[in-house]
C-alpha cells in the first residue's frame, strides 16, 4: 500500500493491489461537493503550454484545446 498521498486539487489517494495483482486507487476529495472533472481539467493555456513543447503548429494546437475552458 502507498499513501495517503496528496495528489493535488484537494484530493488524497491511496494505491494498493487487489488479490489478482491489479493496482487500484482510492481517492478522496476534501470539503465540498466532489467535482473531479472541474478540478482536474486543464485550462486552455495550461494545455497549450505543454503541447507547445511538441509542435508549433498553431492549427493543430487550437484543434486540441478548443473544448477546454479559459479559466477554472
Domain boundaries, the chain: 1-40, 41-72
Q: What is the pLDDT of residue 32?
A: 73
Strands (E), 1-72: 2-8, 11-17, 23-29
One digit per residue, the tens of pLDDT, for the chain of length 72 reads: 899 998 877 788 999 999 999 999 998 887 777 766 676 778 899 999 999 999 999 999 999 999 988 987
Place of cell 479559459: 70
Q: What is the pLDDT of residue 19?
A: 96
Length of the chain as a residue count:
72
Please give the span between the terminal C-alpha atoms of the chain, in angstroms, as a whole number.
33
Amino acid at each position: 500500500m502507498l499513501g495517503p498521498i496528496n495528489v493535488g486539487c484537494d484530493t488524497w489517494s491511496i494505491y494498493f493491489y487487489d488479490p489478482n495483482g491489479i493496482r487500484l486507487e482510492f481517492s478522496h476529495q476534501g470539503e465540498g461537493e466532489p467535482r473531479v472533472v472541474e478540478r482536474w481539467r486543464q485550462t486552455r493555456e495550461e494545455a497549450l503550454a505543454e503541447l507547445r513543447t511538441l509542435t508549433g503548429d498553431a492549427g493543430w494546437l487550437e484543434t486540441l484545446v478548443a473544448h477546454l475552458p479559459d479559466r477554472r
